[in-house]
Amino acid sequence: MAETILVIDEGTTSTRAMLFALDGQCLGCAQRELTQHYPQPGLVEHDATEIWERTFECAREMVEHAGGASQVAAIGITNQRETIVFWDKATGEPLAPAIVWQDRRTAGLCAELKEQGHEPAVQAKTGLLLDPYFSASKIGWALTHWPQLREAGDRLAVGTIESWLVWKLTGGLHLTDATNASRTALMAIGSGGWDDGLLALFGVPRAILPEIVDCAGRFGETRLFGAPIPICGLAGDQQAATVGQACLDPGDTKATYGTGAFVLTATGTTLPASRHRLLATVAWQLHGQRHYALEGSVFVAGSLIKWLRDDLGLLSSAGESEGIARSVADNGGVYLVPALSGLGAPWWRPDARAAITGLSFSANRAHVIRAALEAQAHQTHDLKTAFAGDGCDWTRLRIDGGMAANDWLAQDLADVLGIEVERPTFVETTAMGAAMLAGVGAGIFGSLQGAAALRGETRVFRPELPQGKRQARLDGWARAVASVLNA
């Protein structure tokens, strides 16, 4: 009997495959870096062929590690959301670069639609705002500016990353799960289907889009590894992390600190409505029933540390940031507002640009690096304030993602938020959530609640920072953000 689950976790800067035992133990991981393409300021692209080839390499390595395809019970896929791929149904090859979720090329279009008064209707239908972050404006832009897409006619297929990977794995199955579909700004979040009004608004033909399906089930199978392996779990990365953190009851809240930072609070089958520019999103869908979450999105988190390392040369490795932050008593009055791709929630200012404020001759490299780490707690506090305004304040925050392994950062979050922060021993909960969904889809687990035991042990960080120092930090951050917003 097959006793492993293969997870494909396709991120923004890398893609990997992870092999899980049915008790949640991670048996192996294969990872490859992905090339980031920046053809112009504000434009971010991926090569979809590279994504597929490197993902396939990782998956094949883990299938071999399992002892062959017959030893893999199911595949779960989780992916960077909002990134959009364009390919030819006849050849299965990309027709254009993939436009990444961070891309801002449609900022002008979104601003124009706002000025025309479309945002309230878009938010009511989708739970989202008019921002270049979401897929719809990217698709509309591409159809207008890339003639090869129009020339493809009915051969054109469009989808988010999991849709692209399923197509390649199965040799032609065109589908997307409800969580990814809910991030396109083309799906009516209440009914769960593509909306004619939204399709018309963004100029997207229905025929090029995939079928929307649940997050768990037997969707198809791949025969690329020898014996057939069923594909049984699909979810966007933040929704997969929500499942992996066992945030299954209303009020449960998780924050993932990866390339960006994303906070989701579960609201059950109740569709949330935000008055503070947060997003309503599908947390998961099973048997046609959607469970929802309120979401706050921060565009720059781990990518800030990568930028300090690779482009400014202030770090030799991301891991040394913790020791450097501890080497100074405080931030020395230095604040870093990481609007390298604009500001996300609750500001939604794609035009904003990053800034380092409070510099003096007494400031040094350590203060700048500490300010970069502190920015994660500051941005998260902004989100907490917005969630509280929408009636979804947090009593505890469950954290995960690569940055969450930093003990200093975890404690700083507890100090600035003033609540307990809980971190699982196994912080790769995005992959864990995909494994849980695949296990449910394959019938290994009877429910998500039954699969939640895979999460394992946790560590709790409790607030220690005195209120006066906490408030001084927040006041300094507010001034720094104001300087960016008013620039």
Closest CA to 34 of 18, 50, 45: 50
- Classified as helix, coil or strand, 352 is coil
Q: What is the mean pLDDT of residues 431-442?
A: 95
Q: Which domain holds residue 63?
A: 4-237
- pLDDT higher than threshold 80 for residue 46: yes
Q: Which residue has the tokens 């791929």?
A: 85
How many angstroms from the chain centroid is the CA of residue 336? 22
Any domain includes 154 = yes
Any domain includes 315 = no
Q: What is the C-alpha separation between 125 and 110, in angstroms, rounded?
A: 16
The pLDDT assigned to 457 comes to 83
Q: What is the mean pLDDT of residues 251-255?
A: 94
Any domain includes 218 = yes
pTM given for the model: 0.87
**What are the pLDDT digits (tens) for 118-152?**
999 999 999 998 989 899 999 999 999 999 999 99
Any domain includes 388 = no
Q: What is the C-alpha separation between 301 and 373, in angstroms, rounded?
A: 9
Q: How many domains does the chain have?
A: 1
**What are the pLDDT digits (tens) for 197-220?**
999 999 999 999 999 999 999 999
Q: What CATH number is attached to the domain comprising 139?
A: 3.30.420.40
**What are the pLDDT digits (tens) for 374-419?**
999 999 999 999 999 999 999 999 999 888 889 999 999 999 999 9
DSSP 82: S
CA dihedral 117, 118, 119, 122 (to 10 degrees): 160
Any domain includes 344 = no
- pLDDT higher than threshold 80 for residue 87: yes
Q: What is the mean pLDDT of residues 227-254?
A: 94
- pLDDT higher than threshold 80 for residue 456: no
- pLDDT higher than threshold 80 for residue 1: no
Any domain includes 29 = yes
Task: Count how many Cα atoms sit within 13 Å of the Cα of residue 182 in the half-sphere of its side chain.
Answer: 31
Q: What is the mean pLDDT of residues 334-342?
A: 91
Any domain includes 185 = yes
Confidence of residue 454 (pLDDT cuts 50, 70, 90): confident
Contact 163, 85 (CB under 8 A): yes
> Can you list the positions of beta strands (E) in 401-470?
420-424, 458-461
Mean pLDDT of the chain: 93
**What are the pLDDT digits (tens) for 150-204?**
999 999 999 999 999 999 999 999 999 999 999 999 999 989 999 999 999 999 9
Beta bridge mates, 261: 257, 298
Q: What is the C-alpha separation between 428 and 406, in angstroms, rounded?
A: 13
Any domain includes 12 = yes
